[in-house]
Amino acid sequence: METKKFAVIGHPIGHTMSPFIHTRLFELQGVKAEYTKLDIAPENLEYEFKNTLSRLDGFNITIPHKQAVIPFLDEIDAKAEMYGSVNTVSNKNGISKGYTTDPDGFLKALDAAGIMLNGRIVIIGCGGVARTMAYEVVLKKQPLLFAVRKEDLKIAEALCDEIRKTVAGCDVSFCLIDELSGDIDVLINATPIGMYPKIENQPVSDSVINRCANVFDAVYNPLETMLVKKARANGATAESGMAMLVWQAVVSHEHWDGSVYNKGDIAQLCIDSAKELEKNF
């Protein structure tokens, strides 16, 4: 059996969970593959694409190449085109095709946790992660409220305007985090608040957490953030960002070789990935 070759590229690449997660995913499917990481400076991207990356069976992309790689690809799928970003490339029969797996990774993580994207949905933050999640919410024709810090009000306003222009008829608005009130069906933290080492921090007050039926925290280190811990203690369904990190990797494999995974194996991989992450901090 021929060994397939894959990699993750970025600059600086530093520590990344991609080799650990993807190697395990290949093992689960019995696929013989090597997965490495490549530090590629922006000025070398075109050269490396032609001489190295195009010869791989596929590769993942992190900062700062998610937009820069697009001109070198033969094709990109519709969702990657909508987001203007590619984080996965499949090389098949001499054709390179780009995808973005973050949106589907987000949806699959919610599905695996039993969280439905409906009702009153609030996203904390208005950065890149929030943007990805927001589009998935409004594409499901659900109303969305961004809750942000005072210094981010203009960014939130601009993001709401962008989303309204892109998705006709959507219901999207924003407010200050301190103004959040009422019951929330799904609360999503799209900020780094609560990330290691400041694990005692949380993006909203206890009173807000107590009014949430479901919580998703994009932070994946630690596996159980203070937000997730308190939500679960209050009886809410809650999931951490490690699930999204692993499920978006699963989506890469779906594009590469059509692999299908069961939720139990992925749940265990999330736990194992969190333990692996702890070794590096």
237 assigned ligand-binding residue: no
pLDDT of residue 153: 98
Q: Is residue 66 flagged as an active site residue? A: yes
Q: What is the mean pLDDT of the chain?
A: 96
The pLDDT tens digits of the residues spanning 3-22 come to 999 999 999 998 899 999 99
206 assigned ligand-binding residue: no
- Cα–Cα separations (whole angstroms), residue 280 to 40, 165, 224, 252: 22, 43, 17, 24
Residue 281's pLDDT band (boundaries 50, 70, 90)? low
87 assigned ligand-binding residue: yes
Q: Which of 32, 37, 66, 79 is catalytic?
A: 66
Q: Which neighbouring-strand residues pair with 61?
A: 9
pTM score of the predicted model: 0.94
pLDDT of residue 14: 85
Burial of 60 (0-12, 13-18, 19+ CB in 10 A): buried
Residue 280's pLDDT band (boundaries 50, 70, 90)? confident
**Position 251, amino acid:** V
Output the six-digit token pair for 254. 């779906």
Residue 279 has pLDDT above 90, yes or no: no
CA dihedral sign of residues 242, 243, 248, 251:
positive
Structural domains in the chain? 4-100 (3.40.50.10860), 104-240 (3.40.50.720)
The pLDDT tens digits of the residues spanning 150-161 come to 999 999 999 999
Local structure of 118: helix, strand or coil: coil
Instruction: Decide which of 278 and 38 is more confident.
Output: 38
| Angle, CA 244 vertex, CA 29 and CA 141 arms, to 5° | 120
Give mean pLDDT, residues 257-276: 95
16 assigned ligand-binding residue: yes
Alpha-carbon gap, residue 146 to 180, rounded angstroms: 10
Alpha-carbon gap, residue 13 to 63, rounded angstroms: 8
Give mean pLDDT, residues 46-58: 97
| Angle, CA 248 vertex, CA 245 and CA 42 arms, to 5° | 85
Give mean pLDDT, residues 243-269: 96
Nearest Cα residue to 214 out of 109, 137, 121, 77:
121
The pLDDT tens digits of the residues spanning 193-230 come to 999 999 999 999 999 999 999 999 999 999 999 999 99
